[in-house]
């Protein structure tokens, strides 16, 4: 049942929904990223190469994610989103737990496929729900808070994953971290109310359009003509490619380069992700909401500028032989880089109609996931394997640096290109 008051801007209940959706995003990232802290143990147990690890950490997860992403977004635009999020989080959590029962490369590959199936249906309806609880002028802040889940997810995966792996092994780590998501799915089903899709739409004809979904081909054509959405989606996908490379490979890099135990690496990275990511997500959303009141183009300009600042910091953290300096550089670089998430999501969601938001979110997530997970990890692993005879443990460092430079330079150019499509004055609140 749709609650007509659910999206009212003065209703404090919306902050509860925002928190629950943020936790959903956290579980989403935890379940996909816990693999990173377990890489060295799994590699030794199954005798795998970095290329195979890249396939498990990225390609396996994204295979069905890529195939089901757009259909899931389309479904989010026409069905009960609350139920969809509830089912999705329960499914990917169950498949994460089943990773702990793998007997070799292929069974673990299949379990990771299942994680991708569930997660394909998670973020599009969650983001679509939030756009009906928060108006466009406060959407960057809401999406910034929602994106904190992308910070807390790896923190839980790294800290809890590292401690659990040392105490119980990598198999039980998957099981223990996977099962709680099923309870979250139940909580969402029982407590989250489905808001009106046209909660903040204009009256009359616009309200009708906000509740009537166009045919799929027409929706895709509309998004293709939408210059803001296309350019920001591309820029965001390029930017997060570097983030995913670090999220997947930084733990094994630290273990190989500094010879520290997995539990210690998990704690270090957990502290770094909180110290850099949480303020980054909040500040980015707040600052760009303020700047956008002067000129909406500032959302795109801000993203380009901070990515430019983050680029050298992220590269330098992989070149130093001092552990503390490496962590400090990464904390600052990641914090600056992560501040783009709120404004990027807000730009994309504000540029499309209410019945296109789920599809748009799926396309944006699919683009980022395809570059960052489907291609990035396997390419980095293959480059690392090819460089290993000459560079030893530093081979993985150089592979990640190469991907980071290429993806972030292109992201900077894409964000400046996106700014050209943003109008000088704010569009009507949608």
State the virtual CA torsion across 139, 141, 146, 149 in degrees, nearest 10: 150
The DSSP-derived string for 337-364 is HHTTHHHHHHHHHHTS-GGGHHHHHHHH
Residues 50-61 have pLDDT tens digits of 888 888 877 777
- Residue range 25-44: mean pLDDT, rounded: 86
- Provide the percentage of residues in the chain whose pLDDT is more than 90: 32
Question: What is the DSSP secondary structure assignment for residue 297, as one 8-state letter?
Answer: T
pLDDT at residue 426 greater than cutoff 80 = no
What pLDDT was estimated at residue 203?
44
Is it the case that residue 427 has pLDDT exceeding 50?
no
d(CA 118, CA 92): 4
The pLDDT of residue 211 is 52
**For residue 103, what are its two tokens?**
């007997």
Q: What average pLDDT score do residues 288-297 get?
A: 84
Would you state the pLDDT for residue 278? 77
Mean pLDDT of 121-131: 82
Q: Which residues of 15-38 are buried (b: 16+ CB within 10 A; e: fewer)?
A: eebbebbbbbbbbbbbbbbbbbbb
Q: What is the mean pLDDT of residues 295-316?
A: 93
What does the pLDDT read at residue 189?
93
What does the pLDDT read at residue 367? 82
| For range 165-181, the mean pLDDT | 92
pLDDT per position as a tens digit, 65-99: 677 777 777 777 778 888 999 999 999 899 999 99
pLDDT in tens, 312-366: 999 999 999 999 999 999 999 999 998 898 888 888 888 888 778 777 877 887 7
- The pLDDT-based confidence of 7 (bands split at 50, 70, 90) is very low
**Residue 9: its pLDDT value, please?**
44
pTM (2 d.p.)? 0.72
State how far the Cα of 114 lies from the Cα of 182, in Å rounded to an integer: 15
- Output the CA–CA distances (angstroms, integers) from residue 84 to 15, 74, 76, 126, 272, in the order listed: 20, 12, 7, 9, 33
The pLDDT assigned to 162 comes to 86
pLDDT value of residue 418: 93
**Closest to 153 measured CA to CA, from 338, 337, 29:** 29
pLDDT-based confidence at residue 425 (cuts at 50, 70, 90) = low
Question: Do residues 50 and 386 make contact, with C-beta atoms less than 8 angstroms apart?
Answer: no
Cβ–Cβ under 8 Å, residues 178 and 94: yes
List, for residues 186-245, the tens digit of each pLDDT value. Answer: 999 999 988 876 665 444 444 444 455 677 788 888 888 999 999 999 999 999 888 888
Q: Please give the mean pLDDT across all residues of the chain.
A: 84
CB 280 within 8 A of CB 144: no
Residue 252 has pLDDT above 80, yes or no: yes
């Amino acid at each position: 049942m749709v609650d007509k008051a659910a999206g009212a801007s003065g209703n404090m209940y919306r902050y509860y929904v925002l928190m629950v959706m943020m936790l959903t995003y956290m579980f989403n990232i935890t379940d996909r990223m816990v693999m990173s802290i377990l890489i060295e143990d799994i590699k030794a147990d199954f005798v795998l190469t970095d290329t195979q690890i890249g396939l498990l950490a990225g390609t396996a997860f994204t295979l069905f994610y890529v195939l089901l992403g757009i259909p899931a977004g389309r479904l989010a635009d026409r069905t009960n989103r609350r139920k969809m999020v509830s089912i999705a989080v329960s499914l990917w959590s169950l498949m994460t737990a089943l990773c702990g029962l793998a007997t070799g490369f292929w069974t673990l590959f299949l379990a990771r496929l299942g994680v991708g199936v569930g997660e394909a249906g998670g973020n599009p309806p969650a983001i679509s729900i939030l756009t009906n609880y928060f108006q466009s002028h406060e959407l960057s802040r809401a999406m910034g808070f929602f994106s904190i889940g992308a910070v807390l997810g790896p923190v839980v995966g790294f800290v809890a994953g590292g401690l659990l792996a040392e105490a119980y092994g990598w198999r039980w780590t998957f099981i223990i971290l996977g099962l709680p998501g099923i309870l979250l799915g139940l909580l969402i089903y029982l407590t989250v109310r489905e808001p009106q899709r046209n909660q903040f739409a204009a009256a009359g004809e616009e309200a009708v359009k906000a509740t009537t979904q166009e045919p799929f081909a027409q929706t895709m054509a509309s998004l293709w003509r939408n210059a803001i959405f296309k350019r920001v989606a591309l820029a965001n996908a390029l930017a997060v490619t570097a983030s995913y490379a670090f999220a997947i490979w930084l733990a094994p890099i630290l273990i190989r380069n500094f010879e520290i135990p997995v539990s210690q690496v998990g704690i270090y990275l957990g502290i770094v992700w909180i110290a850099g990511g949480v303020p980054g997500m909040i500040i980015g959303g707040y600052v760009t909401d303020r700047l956008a009141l002067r000129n909406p183009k500032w959302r795109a300009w801000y993203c380009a500028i901070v990515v430019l600042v983050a680029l050298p910091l992220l590269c330098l953290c992989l070149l130093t032989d001092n552990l503390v300096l490496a962590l400090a550089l990464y904390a600052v670089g990641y914090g600056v880089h992560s501040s783009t998430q709120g404004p990027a999501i807000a730009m994309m969601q504000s540029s499309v109609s209410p019945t296109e938001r789920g599809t748009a979110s799926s396309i944006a997530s699919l683009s980022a996931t395809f570059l960052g997970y489907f291609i990035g990890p396997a390419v980095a692993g293959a480059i690392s394997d090819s460089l290993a005879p000459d560079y030893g443990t530093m081979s993985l460092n150089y592979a990640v640096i190469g991907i980071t430079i290429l993806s972030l330079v292109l992201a900077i150019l894409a964000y400046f290109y996106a700014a050209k499509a943003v109008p000088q004055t704010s569009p009507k609140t949608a």
